[in-house]
Amino acid sequence: MLLSGIWTVSLGFAAVSLATMLVLILTRAVSGRRARRKAEQREMLLLALLGWLEDGGAENGAAIRRSLARDGRLATGLLTEVFEIVRGDGQLRLAALAEEAGIGEWIRRALRKGPVRDRLDAAEALIWFPSPKTTEALRLAVSDVQDDVSFAAAATLAGFGSELTLDERLLERLGRFGSSRRIELVLNRFAAQRPDALVDVVLDEALSDRVRTVALDAVTQTGLPGTLELLLSLEASPSADIRVAVARNLGTLGHPDGAPTIGRYLTDDRWEVRSKAAEAVGRLGTIELGPALCALLLDENWWVRHRAGEALAKLGDLGIEALNEMAAIAAQTTLGQTATHILAERNRSAA
Amino acid sequence: MIMPSPEIIVASTLDTVLFIVIATGLAQNGLYVLQLVLAMQELATQRPEKRAGLLWRRYADISPPISLLVPAYNEELSIVDSLSSMLALNYPDFEVIAVNDGSTDGTLQAMIDGFGLKPVIRHYSEAVPHQPLRCVYGSPQYPKLVVVDKANGGKSDALNAGITLSRFPIFCAVDADSILESDALLRAAQPFIDDPVRTVAVGGTIRIANGCRIERGRVLSFGLPRSLLGLFQTVEYLRAFLMARLAWSRMRTLTIISGAFGLFKRQTAIAVGGYSHGTVGEDMELVVKIHRYMRDRRQDYRITFVPEPVCWTEAPESWRVLGRQRSRWQRGALETFFRHGDMLFRPKYGRIGVVGFGHVLIVDVLGPPIEVLGYLLVPMLWFLGLLSVDYLLAFLALTFVFGIFVSVASLILEEIELQRVPRISDLALLTLVAVVENFGYRQISNLWRLRGLWQYLRGHQGWGVMSRVGFRHT
């Protein structure tokens, strides 16, 4: 019974798979023609759009509107590409034309009802269609069940300068989203509009270190007054990730008042902090920290030694002199080799 | 006590052997069905994005920097084209580290001439063991390219040298004779963007370049191999990557990432000691070592397979060379399996021990010898009248007919989700090949694997000669 069952089932599976493949081949034959037609349509529409952007003829505009309205999906894909290459007044005219053709509405509808990929595309494409209706659609999409769609909607809203607040719901989502680097995109966009709200995120110890450090990076990029004080207030954080972020951002900020903190970080227990602090010294150009950097050339961790060497090379003549001395007196040791290699790399990049 | 007659002993032994043959066939095919279902689910939920421009817009700002490691041994014919195409990849931040592993032809000179290289000093730490480096080369015209010359030590040794010299948090091991699609890195890096803390390794799809139109290290248009052997391998690769690896990735039990294209977190690879020496299955071994390391430390981690990033490779076109390659792959799988045999079914290793290693046990360790045993025994016994027709049909079903289903089903997956075969005639040809490969090719392939088993048992080492024509001539 079992043995004859094996034969029957196998035969059945093989027959079904072959029949399915046959159907797929036939489908491809039909859809291939359709795809070629669409590609031609797209090509013609693209040329017409570029021509209209050049001369702006009203008659052409009406014809393009009709073509765009005929196929929302094709129009959305095409417009997204054209928006990327057009700037200024051209973008505004294109957006108005597309909105008149009903494409804005088509995308908003896709954002509400489409499959995940369409919703994600729509959330990103709506950046070209700012209007109260779009803002409303995006606000709703922030609660989308898919995190990607939600964050794309939030990022687009932030890009509009909309009054989107980093409310608990969104923050909880960011935390749940784990460590994804996509939260950098959301928070960077948000920082450009509402850096003050991000400061609260940085200070909220209930949030994950990942979200807090990304927020800290975003705040620093804005140059918001009080950023230095914020960074210094986090100096003694028990979290190594936060301390690394403080060192990194003090380097980015380049304010001399950050030097004492950086100096203390050069002897931190964690190599990641020491390495990032060494890098920051190079960016700050604090000559007083040169001796501490020299000491780090003997660090047990290669990255710390390497970053310390690089930072010394960036301190100008004094740093170079120190590296040359070490290369000469300790040539056969790790210290001497680090110094020699850093100098060689520096000379190569200078050349 | 009455002793059973010799006839009864022979009959019951035969019964047991046949039962084992059928049971192993059923287990193998059961695994294939499971893989199909999982692969379908994965492709349905994670549909690859086809528009490269959109990917760039979405991910370019947050993509991690990557070091491409390219071990090269006697690749004089194609190395300059390969490296040129890698340097032109569509990715925001990467470096290419080519390792000349003591080539005996003009590989190093070809790189020096092709890129105007000069000796340079590069600061590095001996992160993982490898043969001494002879010289590091660079060129101001190609700041992303680093070439290192070292004594011959094999592929794993060359990759370890690359790990030592790399400075980015992620490295991508690529075969020197492979061609990456321009957006392959951008796609393959996605798991490192979505889950940068837990993701430790990512594998991508390898496809066969024979028959494609290739110029200066770039695939200009897709084509099928002209030889039957190349066509068989095309279907095999589809089955292996689109079905098996995708399915095990979904189950988080992926035990292999192809050596031709795999991304790893550098820190994790160093923590496990880099690639192991003394094995021809260094790619599988590294992945298994990472599983073991992470599970031993109870760390949450992900090893993922992404179906879309395409790396094109040249497939052997001669039976002899292909046979050697397959025997070597089999040996590699066995070496890894027995090196880490204590992981099998151990609760500590969870699904890796049960599903991952269980799969290797059934498909790679037990499968080939038992199937070949079936080929010998079943027809003979049936011919001698010692076997019922039901047994014969069950065996034929498991080895021939079900194979057709599995091969055609992986083609269906490809057509529904990816559509990378542009011509209908090619699709029809591949369907035919998916049927035909089960009658002869599959059996020969099993014999090669059996030879691999024999070589493993005899402690055979080495790769054997892999003659290639080079992409320039395809």
**pLDDT tens per residue across span A300-340:** 999 999 999 999 999 988 899 999 998 888 878 888 888 98
Q: Which pLDDT belongs to residue B290?
A: 97
Put the strands of the sheet holding B179-180 in their side by side order: B118-120, B133-138, B145-150, B94-101, B66-72, B170-174, B261-265, B199-208, B302-313, B179-180
CA distance, residue A58 to nearest chain B CA (Å): 31
Farthest-apart Cα atoms in chain A, separation: 89
Task: Tell me if B36 sits within 8 A of B247, measured CB to CB.
Answer: yes
Per DSSP, the three-state class of B115 is helix
Question: Which pLDDT tens digit goes with each residue over B397-430?
Answer: 888 898 999 999 999 999 988 888 888 999 999 9
- B291 and B210 share one domain: yes
CA–CA separation, A249 and A232 (whole Å): 10
Evaluate whether A289 touches A251 at the Cβ level (below 8 Å): no
Mean pLDDT for all residues in chain A = 87
Query: Is a pLDDT exceeding 50 seen at residue B473?
Result: no
C-alpha span between B32 and B406 (Å, rounded): 7
B20-39 pLDDT, tens per residue? 888 888 888 899 999 999 99
Give me the pLDDT at residue A7, please: 85
Q: Which of A3, A11, A17 comes nearest B390 by C-beta?
A: A3
Please give the single-letter amino acid code of residue B446: N
Contacts of B189 in chain A (CB under 8 A): none
The band of B238, judged by pLDDT with boundaries at 50, 70 and 90, is very high
pLDDT of residue B35: 92
CA atoms of B242 and B414, how far apart (whole Å): 7
Average pLDDT over residues A205-233: 91
CA gap B49, B327 in Å, rounded: 36
Domain boundary among B282, B311, B343: B343
- Same structural domain, B164 and B58: yes
Contact yes or no for B415 and A338 at CB 8 A = no
What H or E segment, with its residue span, contains residue B327? helix B319-339
Q: Rounded to the nearest 10 degrees, what angle do helices A147-160 and A182-193 cross at?
A: 20
Work out the number of other CB atoms within 10 angstroms of the CB of residue B74. 19
Which helix (H) or strand (E) segment holds residue A36: the answer is: helix A2-55
**Residue A20 touches partner B, C-beta closer than 8 Å:** yes
Q: Are B249 and B46 in contact (CB under 8 A)?
A: no
The tokens 């098996």 sit on which residue? B244
Q: Quick one: B171 and B111 in the same domain?
A: yes
Q: Are B95 and B144 in contact (CB under 8 A)?
A: yes
The burial class, CB within 10 Å (0-12 / 13-18 / 19+), for B3 is exposed
What pLDDT is attached to residue A35? Answer: 84
Q: Is the pLDDT assigned to residue B474 strictly greater than 50?
A: no
Q: Closest approach of chain B CAs to the CA of A65, in angstroms? A: 24
Query: pLDDT higher for B158 or B391?
Result: B158
Tell whether B211 and B339 lie within a shared domain.
yes
CB pairs under 8 A between A and B: 127
pLDDT at A57 over 80: no
B 36-55 residues with CB below 8 A of A? 47, 49, 51, 53-54
Establish if A25 touches chain B: CB-CB under 8 angstroms: yes
Q: How far is CA B141 from the centre of its chain?
A: 34
Nearest beta carbon to residue B408 from set A18, A306, A344: A18
How many distinct helices (H) and strands (E) make up chain A? 20, 0
Would you state the pLDDT for residue A171? 66
Residues in B touching A32 (Cβ below 8 Å): 424
Would you place residue A299 in the very low, low, confident or very high pLDDT band (cuts 50, 70, 90)?
Answer: very high
Residue B402 and residue A14: Cβ atoms within 8 Å?
yes
Give the best residue of A1, A2, A8, A10 to mutate against chain B (max B CB count within 10 A): A10
Number of residues written out for chain A: 351
Of A14, A25, A28, the CB nearest to B401: A14
- Count of CB atoms within 10 A of residue B186's CB? 23
Domains in chain A, ordered, with CATH? 61-164 (no CATH), 169-224 (no CATH), 225-351 (1.25.10.10)
Instruction: Select from B326, B343, B360 the last residue of a domain.
Output: B343
Count CB atoms within 10 A of the CB of residue A294.
Answer: 19
Per-residue DSSP letter, B361: I
pLDDT at B50: 66
AA letter at A38: K
Distance CA B338, CA B329 (A): 14
Do B357 and B344 contact (CB within 8 A), yes or no?
yes
d(CA B447, CA B464): 17
Same domain assignment for residues B197 and B216: yes
The answer to whether position B3 is within a domain reads no
**B125 and B203 inside one domain:** yes
Co-location of B311 and B434 in the same domain: no
Residue B471 has pLDDT above 60, yes or no: no
Contact yes or no for A226/A202 (Cβ under 8 A): no
In a domain, B472, yes or no: no
Residue B474 lies in a domain: no
pLDDT for the residue A139: 86
Picking from B343, B368, B399, the residue at the C-terminal end of a domain is B343
Q: Is the pLDDT of residue B393 over 60?
A: yes
Query: Within this chain, do residues B301 and B416 fall inside the same structural domain, yes or no?
Result: no
Tell me whether residue B167 is in a domain: yes
Tokens read off for B466: 């892999």
> Closest Cα to residue A345, out of A299, A306, A292?
A306
Are residues B121 and A344, on separate chains, in Cβ contact within 8 Å?
yes
Nearest by CB to residue A351, choosing from B140, B193, B428, is B140
pLDDT of residue B296: 96
Residue A2 with chain B: CB contacts under 8 Å:
394
The full length of chain B comes to 474
Question: Is the residue at B6 inside a domain?
Answer: no
Q: Do A10 and B401 touch (CB under 8 A)?
A: yes
Whether pLDDT at A31 is above 50: yes
Shared domain for B213 and B271, answered yes or no, is: yes
Residues A191/A216, Cβ–Cβ less than 8 Å: no
According to the 3-state scheme, what is the secondary structure of A268-314? Answer: CCCHHHHHHHHHHHHHHCCHHHHHHHHHHCCCCCHHHHHHHHHHHHH
Q: Which residues contact B188 (CB under 8 A, 6 or more apart)?
A: B172, B202, B204, B261, B263, B306, B309
What would the mean pLDDT of A146-163 be, rounded to a whole number?
A: 79
Residue A141's nearest CA partner among A161, A160, A114 is A114
Per-residue confidence band for B128, with pLDDT thresholds at 50, 70 and 90: very high
CB-hemisphere CA count at 13 Å for B326? 25
Phi and psi at residue B264, in whole multiples of 5°? -135, 150
Q: What is the pLDDT of residues A107-146, one digit of tens each?
A: 999 999 888 888 988 998 898 888 889 988 998 888 888 8
CB contact under 8 A, A21 and B412: yes
Q: How many CB atoms lie within 10 A of CB B30?
A: 11
The DSSP call for residue A330 is T
Domain CATH for B139: 3.90.550.10
Of B53, B409, B427, the CB nearest to A81: B53
Window 132-171 of B, Cβ < 8 Å to A: 138, 140
Structure tokens at B55: 């990917």
State the pLDDT confidence band at B472, using cuts at 50, 70 and 90: very low
Contacts with B183 (C-beta within 8 Å, 6 or more apart), sequence order: B52, B55, B56, B89, B90, B91, B309
Q: What does the pLDDT average to over B5-29? A: 82
Structure confidence at residue B465 as a pLDDT band (50, 70, 90):
low
Other Cβ atoms less than 10 A from the Cβ of A312: the count is 30
pLDDT of residue A1: 67
3-state DSSP assignment of residue B144: coil
Mean pLDDT of B419-443: 92
- What DSSP character marks residue B437? T
Question: A71 CB near a chain B CB, below 8 Å?
Answer: no
Question: CB within 8 A of A339, min separation 6: which ones?
Answer: A297, A309, A323, A324, A326, A327, A330
Tell me, what's the pLDDT at B110?
Answer: 96
Q: Rounded distance, CA A255 to CA B134, Å?
A: 44
**Mean pLDDT rounded to a whole number for chain B:** 89
Phi-psi region of B74 (alpha: psi -120 to 50; beta: other; left: phi over 0): left
Q: Is the pLDDT of residue A280 over 60?
A: yes
Answer for the pair A142, A174: CB distance below 8 angstroms, yes or no.
Answer: no
Say if B391 is an interface residue toward chain A (CB within 8 Å). yes
Give the Cα separation of B374 and B376 in Å (integer). Answer: 5
Show Cβ contacts of residue A299 under 8 Å, excluding neighbours closer than 6 positions: A271, A274, A305, A308
CA nearest to B147, candidates B89, B198, B96: B96
Task: Determine the longest span between alpha carbons in chain B, in angstroms.
Answer: 89
User: Residues B61, B36: one domain?
Assistant: no
Contacts with A7 from chain B: Cβ below 8 Å: 390, 393-394, 396-397, 401
Query: Residue A176: which pLDDT band, with cuts at 50, 70 and 90?
Result: low
B118 to chain A: closest CA residue: A348
- If one compares A143 and B181, the residue with the highest pLDDT of the two is B181
Q: Do residue B404 and residue A14 have CB atoms under 8 angstroms apart?
A: yes
Query: Is B5 a member of any domain?
Result: no
Strands B145-150 and B94-101: parallel
Output the pLDDT for position A177. 61
Residue found by looking up tokens 């140059």 in the block: A223
Higher-scoring residue by pLDDT: B172, B42: B172
Query: Two tokens at A325?
Result: 């001395």
Considering only CB atoms, B431 lies closest to which of A21, A210, A306, namely: A21
The pLDDT value recorded for residue B47 is 67
Q: Which of residues 221-250 of A touch B (CB under 8 A)?
A: none
In this structure, the answer to whether residues B331 and B225 fall within a common structural domain is: yes
Of residues A294, A301, A304, the one with CA closest to residue A336: A294
Confidence check: pLDDT of B467 > 70: no
Q: Do B194 and A182 touch (CB under 8 A)?
A: yes
Distance, in Å, from the CA atom of B351 to the CA atom of B357, rounded to the nearest integer, reads 9
Query: How many domains, chain B?
Result: 2
pLDDT at B463 over 60: no
Residue with tokens 């031709």: B260
For residue A232, give the amino acid letter: L
| End-to-end Cα, chain B, rounded Å | 73
Q: Do residues B382 and B392 touch, judged by C-beta distance below 8 A? A: yes
Q: How confident is the model at residue A291 (pLDDT cuts 50, 70, 90)?
A: very high
Residues B134-148 have pLDDT tens digits of: 999 999 899 999 999
Residues B231 and B164 both lie in one domain: yes
- For chain A, how far is it from start to end, CA to CA, in angstroms? 80
Supply the range of the domain harboring residue B39. 14-43+349-460
Best probe of the A interface among B123, B192, B389, B425, by most A CBs < 10 A, is: B123
> Which of chain A's residues have a Cβ under 8 Å away from the Cβ of B196?
179-181
Question: Scanning every residue of chain B, which has its alpha carbon at the shortest distance from the alpha carbon of A334?
Answer: B125
Cα–Cα distance between B389 and B398 in angstroms, integer?
14
Higher pLDDT: A262 or B468? It is: A262
CA distance A17 to A276: 57
Q: Which residue has the higher pLDDT, B51 or B348?
A: B348
Residue B470 lies in a domain: no
Residue B110 lies in a domain: yes
Q: Grade residue B355 by pLDDT with cuts at 50, 70 and 90.
A: very high
Q: Provide the percentage of residues in chain B whose pLDDT is more than 70.
A: 95
Taking an 8 Å cut-off on Cβ atoms, the answer to whether A84 and B411 are in contact is no
* C-beta atoms of A6 and B197 within 8 A: no
Distance set, CA B330 to CA A287, B30, B310, B312, B334 (Å):
60, 21, 24, 22, 6
pLDDT above 90 covers a percentage of chain A that reads 37
